[in-house]
Each structure stands twice: as C-alpha cells, then as structure tokens.
Amino acid sequence: MKVISWNMWVKNLDPIGNLKKLIAAESPDIICLQEVKINVLEFVHDGLFEGYDYIYGFDFRKHKGGFYENYYLVTLSKKKILNQKVNKIHVNHKTQWSLWDTLMRWDESIEFLYADIELGHKKLRIFNCHMELSAGPRLRLEQFDLILKKFVEGSKNIVCGDF
C-alpha cells in the first residue's frame, strides 16, 4: 500500500496540476493533504480524481486581501471509506507565537480527521492532521496525545500530516 502525505501550501503555484502529476506518477492508495485551498477542494469534490473516495475538514484560515481564506485537510482513498470523523479540539493557551498569530490574523485550530478503510479482513485507520504552528514542542506533544487517543486497538493506524 502506497501512502503519500503533502502540505500543499508553500511554493505551489499549480496545486491541481501538481496533484494530477503526483497521482499519475505514483498511483497512491491513500493521499493525505494539508493546507488545501478551496479551488483544490472543489476540484476533488467535483469527482475529477476518478477512483478515489475522499473526506475533508477545516484546517485553518488566514486574513488575506480584506477577507479570510480557508484551508482544508483532505484525505483521498482508493478503498471505500467506511467510517470517518473530523475532530476539532479548541485549546486555550498563550505562547510566544500568539502575538504573531494575532498580527497575521491567522485563526488556527487543532484539527485532525480520520478515515477507516477495509484492508483485507482488517480495518485500517488513516489519520490526517496539521499541528498548530504557534504551539511549542510541549504543547504539540499534548495535542498529538489527543490523536493517539483515537487509535483503534487491534487495528493498523497510520498518522500523516504536517507536524
């Protein structure tokens, strides 16, 4: 099984074209994308990646040109998604980066999603997450612990994302 994880935000001038090239070249079974812009999400939603089931959830938003631009988490799977959940966890904290978030007008959340697929006679849970930029190492470990609590015992679990 081939699994690919990709944060699409930085220096990606043609995200749809690059995603098409990636799928054509690698033919992955699972693709986990972070920081996906709405035009890419709409492209996926329109069914233009034939043969892939998908789920999505909110990642974060940032202020740009007088409005907020939303970014998403997207998971695509060649196998049918049996169960899915988007998890949003709000954590109140102040870090050295809180001022940066305020100045940049970023609204980050701790959000992750998972998709359960059948692999042979077993269930496989795929996690897709984008950890909070402004959290330091200790807070990121606490946040990652929230993901670990969603693991399924006796099942295979794969965690993808931008950490």
pLDDT of residue 64: 66
Select from 92, 76, 90, 88 the least CA-distant residue to 44.
Answer: 76
CB 79 within 8 A of CB 118: yes
Q: Which two tokens stand for residue 97?
A: 């980066």
Give the span between the Cα atoms of 68 and 20, in whole angstroms.
Answer: 27
Domains contained in the chain, CATH given: 3-162 (3.60.10.10)
pLDDT of residue 85: 92
Select from 3, 4, 2, 7 the least CA-distant residue to 130.
Answer: 7
Q: What is the mean pLDDT of each run of 10 residues along the chain (163 residues)?
A: 91 90 95 93 84 87 73 94 85 57 63 91 92 75 87 91 87
pLDDT of residue 11: 80
pLDDT of residue 134: 66
Nearest 5°: phi and psi at 113?
-135, 160
Residue 51's Cβ-side half-sphere holds a number of Cα atoms within 13 Å equal to 9
pLDDT of residue 49: 78
Bridge partner residues of 158 (DSSP): 126
